[in-house]
Structure 1
């Protein structure tokens, strides 16, 4: 099935798009609830009596009137519904946009701590676009978010380490069971897997949550925190609706595009304090597994530019390759670990990043990569992982079309 970007929603001078993996040929990304939403169909309707065809002369037929009730579709209902592959972008904007974020902050009690986490890919995109060093962009983001009322701004490095360590343990268990391990930290890919593959793909899916979700779990474990996260992909808004053990670990997701306009890019920034990071860290589960398995850290592209392989480990980007991954679970494959991401080019090129012209793409990606480094798991986070490892798993939900239209929990 070919891929087509069917529609984009302009969001504050930038275009918003979900991952290509969720935009298929012939399907409009915007599906209004009034058009094909299954929610109204869940209402039990009493059987209507047949009308008599006999009328008394001189009278007019009296139509039966039904009192209609207003249908309300929540964000999580829409994303969990099997009626369509994609999400309703208008609802995403309404409930996960910057305007709603600001309005929510006004309603929070003064005692509640507001913490903003950010993905390093976000900083890389802003750094490349504005030609400013990594550390300076972090400082500008922190100032901007604190002006909006945020108490603290944090990175995801500790949560990233926890996620990698958890994936490795899961992977070793998959090895014992002689089945390939597919990562599920990409919400675009996970949504596709749950909606289009269901139980047939679940035995191969890992359950380790992403760094963003794990960070929320860690933050909310100790205090009453409102957690907003700045991410590189609009699909992360989708991930934020998913609860883990009854906990909503992320209250709001903003993207690179959305926070770019609130940052003062002319303000003078001084480099003060210790522990300032000069570079960001790439989240690379595939490379981490390869290193743990004693394999070289170089990957080759024998099939296409978005399919990287190294012995029995693969890194796969884009929907075309995702279809190949699904086929690999049904046949014998040399790979036993596959990192899967829906966006072509991976998270660094997520749909929420600062846009550029196609001819500028290669240079932009190179500039982003120049401020990023591979990461080695810190020893202190291994100890930390042992304390929280039982709390970092997502629940897989079969959301393929079924007769049970009332079960719409994401």
Structure 2
């Protein structure tokens, strides 16, 4: 387990326990067989000491013994040390399309190293070292792929071939989320009655965002009644892993086992998400029905901003002294498919969104903006609830009539209120109860301020476990660490002033996060020469090509009618179609996932009988 993860880092509303509370069966101690006919009494039988338990993360997730968003304390294999071990163990794979004559790699020939970086991580790095978000992006690229970074050491001088901004797949997720909400609210939609994740069925209203793994684990273990409302959409982290591994496997014959995908995320719960069985190649590969083999993860390892700095420190690299400029073109490996290459690596930086969209991806905001685009003359009103982490968004027409409502619920304290109000009311068996309930307030229908709205009135609810959103994730750099990190490798770093309060520090991280909307991190002209002509800012126009009379290709700008908040829905859907065609896999198998209700075996008859049987086999006094 990473040394940086301790109980002091946890701020859950539900305090995590130090030890797992799922009991281990206490079996009688087996006595030496000195006298097989010796008679003993029950009070002389001592309980056997339980051997050290060795459990996998999958087993942990299937246990309902504890409920907290900080279950990542059990993730010992996803750390900066695992990254170093993998780089040491495997040489960087030479890709067939970059090395003519190379044959397809075998399982032990090496790995293609891929990294995806979240904007919240970049904001945390930027605030820590007092640089722009664009400079932080370049420093991370220099560490993972540059000659002065990881490639400068190690047994194999291995580095990462591709570093992907998760904002790219976030935009794809936003479009898919808006479509999912509209399809689910259609009069002809078939809604799910359970949580099996059937892709033919739509989630029930209100649809709950599913990008936060801490919230998902909490719902699966303690509030299964919320699962039919859960969005089936994969997170940007999972979408990135599925895209990379499915295309390389299905189109170019590279086994998913030869592709090692590391995600750099703001919270430890993303490690849990990467470990889910639903997010493996079994669920999108043609032999997905083959249950004999173990699935290969779409995301192999997740580290956080603090672990990224520990990765550099372990290799003796001073992170603040890394170059703040983009890598030269010769260090960039093109993705084999040109269309996906332009999509994954645009020449203009992708925006993190506005303050109204928040710091957690902007799912709710994009859903509302999509509805607004379909209702000319409408506007979005915002009303704060009982605290800053409960906010209601309402789209109203020109006559101030509500068209659609949505809400934001951040933090476990507010999430508990949310799931309570989603719970179906129990029918009372008392005589006359039906008459009394008829005049009573419906569950969750308290009128007044935001957060008291009937939950069924909401079309969409953006749910995140961390108060304040994803920039406040547990893996982000804390205010107490800033001074030491700034002074590391910097001559006068100790003179820099550090904010005394975590709240003030979070405001600085948010400033860095939102600064990407106004600052561009585009490479210099020398770095972008020969780039595709289709790489333009989607917020202004799309580029189309037409043939002139002499056969030359001329470019013209055309207005994109599907443009919503700077994101072209038509272009994203075209990417989805292209992805499906490349892999031969249906889009819904690539983009959507499923959930499961976690049941406890404690106290069940079958469990008691099994333990009693074990005890009887060793002569226990049961």
Normalising by structure 2, we get a TM-score of 0.55
Match of 1:159 in 2: 169
Quote the offset at 1:166 in angstroms.
Answer: 2.2
Closer, same or farther in 2 for the Cα pair 1:126/1:264, shift >3 Å?
Answer: same
Distance 1:381 1:100 in 2: 34
1:253-289 per-position Cα deviation (integer Å, ceiling 9, x unaligned): 0001111342621234335778253854551100001
Distance 1:16 1:66 in 2: 34
Q: Which of 20, 24, 32 is the aligned partner of 2:14?
A: 24
- Do residues 307 (structure 1) and 390 (structure 2) align? yes
Quote the offset at 1:349 in angstroms.
Answer: 1.4
Q: Which of 494, 508, 511 is the aligned partner of 1:367?
A: 511
Which structure 2 residues correspond to residues 3-402 of structure 1 after superposition, within 5 A?
11-12=3-4, 17=9, 20=12, 24-25=14-15, 27-28=16-17, 30-31=18-19, 36-38=21-23, 40-41=24-25, 71-86=53-68, 88-92=71-75, 94-108=76-90, 109-146=108-145, 147-148=149-150, 149-176=159-186, 179-198=205-224, 200-223=225-248, 224=256, 225-244=259-278, 245=283, 246-261=295-310, 262=312, 264-270=319-325, 275=347, 277=349, 280-281=352-353, 283-294=361-372, 296-297=379-380, 299-311=382-394, 312-330=405-423, 331=443, 332-333=454-455, 334-356=457-479, 357-358=501-502, 360-361=504-505, 363-373=507-517, 376-378=566-568, 379-386=570-577, 387=580, 388-402=587-601
1:33-92 per-position Cα deviation (integer Å, ceiling 9, x unaligned): xxx345x5499x99xxxx99968xxxxx99799898664211221233111113555431
Instruction: Tell me: higher relative CO, structure 1 or 2? Use CA pairs within 8 A at least 6 residues apart.
Output: 1
Quote the offset at 1:206 in angstroms.
Answer: 1.1
Contact preservation (8 Å) 2:170, 2:236? yes
Closer, same or farther in 2 for the Cα pair 1:17/1:258, shift >3 Å?
Answer: same
Contact preservation (8 Å) 2:410, 2:469? yes
1:99-124 per-position Cα deviation (integer Å, ceiling 9, x unaligned): 12211232334542110001011111
Distance 2:48 2:573 in 1: 62
SS at match of 1:170: helix
The alignment's C-alpha RMSD in Å is: 3.5
How many residues matched?
A: 378
Q: Tell me, which stretches of 5 or more residues in structure 2 are unaligned?
A: 31-35, 91-107, 151-158, 192-203, 249-255, 284-294, 313-317, 330-345, 354-358, 373-377, 395-404, 424-442, 444-453, 480-500, 519-564, 581-586, 608-622
Quote the offset at 1:232 in angstroms.
Answer: 0.5
SS at match of 1:184: coil
Distance 1:62 1:328 in 2: 53
Distance 2:412 2:221 in 1: 14
Distance 1:10 1:64 in 2: 37
Contact preservation (8 Å) 2:181, 2:207? yes
SS at match of 1:310: strand
Closer, same or farther in 2 for the Cα pair 1:308/1:249, shift >3 Å?
Answer: same
Quote the offset at 1:350 in angstroms.
Answer: 1.1
Closer, same or farther in 2 for the Cα pair 1:247/1:68, shift >3 Å?
Answer: same
SS at match of 1:337: strand
Quote the offset at 1:134 in angstroms.
Answer: 1.6
Of stretches 227-236 and 357-366 in structure 1, the one that deviates more from structure 2 is 357-366
Contact preservation (8 Å) 1:133, 1:278? no
Contact preservation (8 Å) 2:5, 2:73? no
Closer, same or farther in 2 for the Cα pair 1:158/1:381, shift >3 Å?
Answer: farther
SS at match of 2:382: coil
Distance 2:51 2:274 in 1: 29
Q: Tell me, which stretches of 5 or more residues in structure 1 are unaligned?
A: 1-8, 56-60
State which structure, 1 or 2, has the greater radius of gyration over its C-alpha atoms. Answer: 2
Normalising by structure 1, we get a TM-score of 0.81
Quote the offset at 1:396 in angstroms.
Answer: 0.7
